[in-house]
Amino acid sequence: MLIYKIFRAPEWQVLVDHGETTGAPIDVADGYVHFSTAEQAAETAAKHFAGEADLTLLALEAEALGEALKWEVSRGGALFPHLYRSLRMEDVTWSKPLPLVDGLHQFPEDMA
């Protein structure tokens, strides 16, 4: 199962440049890297990235993250994937731009 991370340009650049990251400021503050499922990603974008352009969407294979990935109750009682270690470039299955069109983020049609 693929899970998804949205990064702002500087956050994505840290991962590209260093090969790993502890995530966005909220990830660092919470002590884990926040992810969303395909069903949760649009709401995550609307809640945390409203109106922001120049975002990158990362997809990762949940099973490949092993025991460092925990599914925990969050927004609305839903289970969200949280990674309790650094995110590594080698974890990323693919990355794509997440364009903002007419105020809404346009997710790839092939999201699982």
pLDDT the model gives residue 75: 74
CATH number for position 8: 3.20.170.20
pLDDT tops 90 at residue 79: yes
pLDDT tops 60 at residue 112: no
Q: What is the 3-state secondary structure (H, E, C) of the chain?
A: CEEEEEEEHHHHHHHHHHCEECCCHHHHHHCCEECECHHHHHHHHHHHCCCCCCEEEEEEEHHHHHHHEEEEECHHHCEEEEECCCEEHHHEEEEEEECEECCEECCCCCCC
| Mean pLDDT confidence for 70-96 | 95
pLDDT tops 90 at residue 110: no
- Is 56 among the domain residues? yes
- Is 93 among the domain residues? yes
Q: Which residues contact 36 (CB under 8 A, 6 or more apart)?
A: 3, 4, 5, 6, 43, 44, 80, 81
- Is 112 among the domain residues? no
Strand order, beta sheet including 69-73: 33-34, 79-83, 69-73
**Structural domain count, the chain:** 1
- Is 106 among the domain residues? no
Mean pLDDT over each residue of the chain, to the nearest integer: 96
- Is 69 among the domain residues? yes
pLDDT the model gives residue 39: 95
- Is 27 among the domain residues? yes
Give the CB-side neighbour count of residue 72, counting CA atoms within 13 A. Answer: 12
- Is 31 among the domain residues? yes
- Is 89 among the domain residues? yes
pLDDT 10s digits, 6-43: 999 999 999 999 999 999 999 999 999 999 999 999 99
Q: Which domain holds residue 54?
A: 2-98
